[in-house]
């Protein structure tokens, strides 16, 4: 309620009540969002309900939303600053939102003493029985032929560094490449990817709830954070993977703690639109790379174009304007 009061108390005096509970006024974000001049036709609209706030501008396409129990995302912070809410009030409201989330989640998160980024604490996890680093197996005098096939699969996918991949002779995993999930230097889960494409289950995984593959990348000082759906795509690009076509609320909160630009690179299929819609809601950029039509994801692109070209095409193809993202999504 306090967030709603802060926002509504800073709305322009000239405003009108519209249908469906929307309050319309001149959008304060149009110029920042690429328009030549400010809105003068009251194309911005805001509504609130049960602790949630939603904003949409029908002129520049800027959107922002907040749900009770979530941290404040980047777009909501942009809206608040453009409305003229003092920075001291914004920081206080950010802390209030974090406290509300911690109360809802319970004591599952801790704050790093050296980082302002809140990171999840996951339990240690053992890899499948007999798992060894693939790099070490290949140094054996007579490496298992299935381990060699696993290495060939990685090479074909554009992964040339086997330092962080494992193979196990266990019957369930001997036709799989095992990708460990790290938090710092600890293994907290894993995913076993079938390299034969003959098994019914493509992945056999032990994944902590709301985990992000390569989660430590959120804390790194870099300009971009690329978010993919699949583990292999992320492994090739040093990206973060949600390991689904839709991020959970907690995963969204983790990603929103990144200080630079978040670029979502979804799979090029209908389910991938779920992640695109989440990107719009959270102020993330979405990449529409100029790849050939038969390529489904970043992993396919790496196989055809190589890692460096694929990475550059993802960055060059990124769009931050929500209206343009919606148009691109409908045209693809």
Q: Where are the domains of the chain?
A: 2-107, 124-207, 208-332
DSSP string, 123-138: ---PPSTT-EEHHHHT
In this model, does residue 165 exceed pLDDT 80? Answer: yes
Residue 229 confidence (pLDDT): 94
* Separation between Cα atoms, residue 3 and residue 24, nearest integer Å: 18
pLDDT-based confidence at 117, cuts 50/70/90? very low
* Separation between Cα atoms, residue 275 and residue 292, nearest integer Å: 21
With CA atoms as reference, report the closest residue to 190 among 203, 205, 212, 175: 205
- For residue range 3-35, what is the model confidence (pLDDT) as tens digits? 888 999 999 989 998 777 889 999 999 988 878
Beta bridge partners of 16: 24
Beta bridge partners of 44: 25, 57
- For residue range 173-201, what is the model confidence (pLDDT) as tens digits? 999 999 999 998 899 999 999 999 888 88
Count of CB atoms within 10 A of residue 35's CB? 17
**Tokens at residue 217, please?**
């990348």
Lowest mean pLDDT among 91-105, 109-123, 209-223, 285-299: 109-123
Residue 112 confidence (pLDDT): 37
Residue 118 confidence (pLDDT): 60
In this model, does residue 1 exceed pLDDT 80? Answer: no
Burial (CB count within 10 angstroms: exposed 0-12, middle 13-18, buried 19+), residue 184: exposed
- For residue range 247-284, what is the model confidence (pLDDT) as tens digits? 988 898 889 888 889 999 999 888 889 999 899 888 89
Q: What is the CATH architecture of 208-332?
A: 3-Layer(aba) Sandwich (3.40)
**Tokens at residue 288, please?**
């529409």
Q: Strands 23-25, 15-17: parallel, antiparallel or unpaired by DSSP? A: antiparallel
In this model, does residue 154 exceed pLDDT 50? Answer: yes
Residue 109 confidence (pLDDT): 43
Contact between 88 and 75 under an 8 Å Cβ cutoff? The reply is no
In this model, does residue 107 exceed pLDDT 70? Answer: no
With CA atoms as reference, report the closest residue to 266 among 230, 306, 235, 216: 230
**Stretch (H or E) spanning 264:** strand 261-264
């Amino acid at each position: 309620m306090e967030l709603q009061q802060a926002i509504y108390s800073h709305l322009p005096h000239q405003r009108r009540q519209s249908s469906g509970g929307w309050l319309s006024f001149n959008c304060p974000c149009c110029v920042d969002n690429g328009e030549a001049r400010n809105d003068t036709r009251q194309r911005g609209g805001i509504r609130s309900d049960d602790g949630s706030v939603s904003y949409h501008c029908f002129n520049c396409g800027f959107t922002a939303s907040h749900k009770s129990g979530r941290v404040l995302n980047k777009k909501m912070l942009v809206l608040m600053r453009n409305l003229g809410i003092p920075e001291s009030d914004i920081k206080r409201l950010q802390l209030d939102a974090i406290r509300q989330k911690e109360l809802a989640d319970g004591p599952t998160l801790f704050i790093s003493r050296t980082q302002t980024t809140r990171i999840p604490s996951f339990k240690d996890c053992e890899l499948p029985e007999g798992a060894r680093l693939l790099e070490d197996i290949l140094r054996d005098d007579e490496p298992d032929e299935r381990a060699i096939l696993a290495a060939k699969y990685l090479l074909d996918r554009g992964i040339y560094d086997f330092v962080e991949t494992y193979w196990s002779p266990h019957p369930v995993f001997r036709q799989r490449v095992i990708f460990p999930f790290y938090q710092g230097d600890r293994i907290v889960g894993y995913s076993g990817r079938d390299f034969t494409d003959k098994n019914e289950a493509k992945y056999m995984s032990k994944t902590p709830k709301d985990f992000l593959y390569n989660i430590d990348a959120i804390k790194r000082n870099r300009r971009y954070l690329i978010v993919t759906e699949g583990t292999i795509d992320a492994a090739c690009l040093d990206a973060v993977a949600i390991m689904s076509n839709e991020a959970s609320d907690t995963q969204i909160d983790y990603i929103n703690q990144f200080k630079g630009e978040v670029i979502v690179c979804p799979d090029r299929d209908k389910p991938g639109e779920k992640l695109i819609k989440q990107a719009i809601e959270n102020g993330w950029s979405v990449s529409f790379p100029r790849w050939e039509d038969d390529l489904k994801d970043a992993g396919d692109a790496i196989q055809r174009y190589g890692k460096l070209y694929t990475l550059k095409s993802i960055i060059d193809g990124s769009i931050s304007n929500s209206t343009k993202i919606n148009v691109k999504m409908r045209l693809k």
